[in-house]
Amino acid sequence: MLGSGSVLRRCRVYSRAFGHCFYIQSGDGIRLEDCYAEGSMRATSDMLRDTSGPAFDLGFKSVYANRDGRHVITPGYVKSLSEDGFRTYGNAGQVTLLNCTAIHTRAGFEIGAPDAAPKKTLLENCVALGCERGFLIGSQTVVRRSRGDIAHGPLLYLRGGRDSDVELELAGDGPVSLVHAIATIAGENHRVRLSVQHGEKSIPALPVYLGFGMPEHAEMASPILPAPTRSVTLLNEIPAVQVITSETLIESRFETPGRSFTDAVLQASPGSWGLPASGIAPGGPAPKK
Residue 281 has pLDDT above 50, yes or no: no
Q: Is residue 280 one of the residues assigned to a domain? A: no
Residue 182 pLDDT class (50, 70, 90 cuts): very high
- Provide the pLDDT for residue 27: 86
Q: Is residue 241 one of the residues assigned to a domain? A: yes
Residue 287 has pLDDT above 60, yes or no: no
Residue 134 has pLDDT above 70, yes or no: yes
Q: Are residues 46 and 114 in the same domain?
A: no
Q: Are residues 107 and 213 in the same domain?
A: yes
Q: Are residues 73 and 177 in the same domain?
A: no
pLDDT digits (tens, 9 = 90+) for 59-81: 999 999 999 999 999 999 999 99
Structural domain range at position 55: 42-80
In the chain, % of residues over pLDDT 70: 90
Q: Is residue 276 one of the residues assigned to a domain? A: no
Dist. CA 4–CA 28, nearest whole Å:
4
Q: Are residues 130 and 234 in the same domain?
A: yes
φ and ψ at residue 208, rounded to 5 degrees: -105, 125
Q: Are residues 95 and 223 in the same domain?
A: yes
Q: Which residue from 138, 129, 157 is spatially nearest to 215, judged by alpha carbons? A: 157
Please give the average per-residue pLDDT across 129-149, as a whole number: 97
Residue 167 has pLDDT above 60, yes or no: yes
Q: Are residues 53 and 111 in the same domain?
A: no
Q: Are residues 94 and 178 in the same domain?
A: yes
Domain boundary (80, 98, 128) is at 80
Total domain count for the chain?
A: 2
Dist. CA 36–CA 9, nearest whole Å:
10
Please give the average per-residue pLDDT across 168-187, as a whole number: 94
Q: Is residue 272 one of the residues assigned to a domain? A: no
Q: Is residue 282 one of the residues assigned to a domain? A: no
Residue 201 has pLDDT above 90, yes or no: no
Q: Are residues 69 and 165 in the same domain?
A: no
Q: Are residues 212 and 94 in the same domain?
A: yes
- Provide the pLDDT for residue 5: 85
- Provide the pLDDT for residue 283: 37
Cβ neighbours, 10 Å, residue 94: 18
Please give the average per-residue pLDDT across 104-114, as a whole number: 96
Q: Are residues 157 and 73 in the same domain?
A: no
pLDDT digits (tens, 9 = 90+) for 215-258: 999 999 999 999 999 999 999 999 889 999 999 999 999 999 98
- Provide the pLDDT for residue 271: 65
pLDDT digits (tens, 9 = 90+) for 80-89: 999 999 999 8
Domain boundary (51, 80, 109) is at 80
- Provide the pLDDT for residue 90: 82
- Provide the pLDDT for residue 199: 65
Q: Are residues 60 and 97 in the same domain?
A: no
Q: Are residues 75 and 131 in the same domain?
A: no
- Provide the pLDDT for residue 7: 93
Q: What mean pLDDT value characterizes the chain?
A: 90
Residue 279 has pLDDT above 70, yes or no: no
Q: Which residue from 53, 58, 37 is spatially nearest to 103, judged by alpha carbons? A: 37
Q: Is residue 226 one of the residues assigned to a domain? A: yes
Residue 284 pLDDT class (50, 70, 90 cuts): very low
Residue 1 pLDDT class (50, 70, 90 cuts): low
Q: Is residue 275 one of the residues assigned to a domain? A: no
Dist. CA 214–CA 267, nearest whole Å:
19
- Provide the pLDDT for residue 273: 52
| pTM of the predicted model as reported, rounded to 2 decimal places | 0.90
Q: Is residue 186 one of the residues assigned to a domain? A: yes
Q: Higher confidence at residue 273 or residue 173?
A: 173
Please give the average per-residue pLDDT across 161-171, as a whole number: 97
CA angle 4–89–146, rounded 5-degree value: 90
pLDDT digits (tens, 9 = 90+) for 117-130: 999 999 999 999 99
